[in-house]
Amino acid sequence: MINRAMQTNTVALSVSDFSVSLRAEGGDVKIVRDVSFTLEKGQTMALVGESGCGKTIAMLSLMGLIPDQQIASVSGEVLLQGAPMLGLTQDELRSLRGNRIAMIFQEAMTALNPTMTIGEQVAEPLIVHKKMKRADAMRRAEVLLSETGIDEPKRRLRQYPFEFSGGMLQRVLIAMALACEPAVIIADEPTTALDVTTQQQVLSLFKQLQTQHGTALLLITHDLGVVSHVADQVAVMYAGEIVEYGGIEEVFGNTAHPYTAALKASTPALQQRGQALTVLEGQPPTAGYVASGCAFANRCDRAMRICTQTQAPWINRVDGRANGKADGHALRCWQYHDANPQKETLT
């Protein structure tokens, strides 16, 4: 468990011991385990890890976007500006989504309704949540398109998604997310399928708009190169749980967990010129995999016998405290526990 900061008016989103189980043939499957983090106003936190590690499903569940018939159980605590989100009805969640918390979905080319104009889609949250008249909402939509860097916004309002490029559609999704000036935006792989130049423009746009609106951004990605440029905090996720957590300088500059180190070593943007990239052998566990020890042990070249037997408790990287809670730069790995009784490595 990561110790949750005291609730203040600067905390936009606080998640503590958040777990999710889905219904499946043969029994319920726990796919998210004890996820905890605190996101401050105006801050960017990146949730990183390989595809299939549980990043997207965790945030969809947090937003209440998984159908009830698929959810077996959700537990823990989720506070949006100090108010609980778990246990709300669908009507109550709908009043929050797009209003106080918004999500930018993957695949901008398919995320928008092809039968509605761009203007109608950007104006919709303003009409629904802010009760604006259509004419006022369309004028505000024009401003939002302009703020997100779309030329000739008035003309663009009348166009349809198929008339926009991928980069422009990504900007439209950002405009829609910002329409009601939410406290938190969750962006799921917002730069996927964009060329490098457009990717940089979108990331710069996020920073600029955060400065203007004070919005907290939770960025879901597997691209550590992107994370290194925009994030204030990083949570590294593997097999449905967070294994390393902390500020960007601590996690990237003083990397501790072997999984984080392996991700960095396989990312071109984080390697020096001429330095060979490392291939992370093997595959992440399938959804619902339950390990008696560390789920990464079978892919870790530093694994010890105890790693396969017992999950390491959280430990603070700076002061070495290991009491089930952690602050600052924290991780779960037996290598950093002096009390580890089984230091021998696997052979």
Confidence of residue 345 (pLDDT cuts 50, 70, 90): low
Give the mean pLDDT of 256-271: 82
CA 58 to CA 16: how far, in whole Å? Answer: 12
Say which residues have a Cβ less than 8 Å from residue 14's Cβ, sequence separation at least 6.
4, 5, 7, 37, 38, 39, 77, 78, 79, 82
Domain with residue 291: its CATH number is 3.40.50.300
pLDDT tens profile 31-86: 999 999 999 999 999 999 988 889 999 999 999 999 888 998 999 999 999 999 99
- Residue 167 in domain: no
Residue 334 confidence (pLDDT) above 70: yes
Residue 342 confidence (pLDDT) above 60: no
- Residue 115 in domain: no
Q: State whether residue 324 is helix, strand or coil.
A: coil
- Residue 126 in domain: no
The reported pLDDT for the residue numbered 274 is 58
What sign does the CA torsion over 337, 342, 310, 287 have?
positive
- Residue 327 in domain: yes
Q: Is the pLDDT higher at 76 or at 25?
A: 76
Among 151-155, 284-288, 313-317, the minimum mean pLDDT is found in 284-288
Confidence of residue 283 (pLDDT cuts 50, 70, 90): confident
Which domain range does residue 215 map to? 11-100+180-336
Q: Is the pLDDT higher at 4 or at 332?
A: 332
Mean of per-residue pLDDT scores for the chain: 86
What torsion do the CA atoms of 99, 105, 111, 117 make, to the nearest 10 degrees?
30
The reported pLDDT for the residue numbered 201 is 80
Give the mean pLDDT of 122-143: 96
- Residue 232 in domain: yes
pLDDT tens profile 157-172: 999 999 999 889 989 9
For the chain, how many structural domains are there in total? Answer: 1
- Residue 270 in domain: yes
- Residue 139 in domain: no
- Residue 143 in domain: no
CA 188 to CA 51: how far, in whole Å? Answer: 12
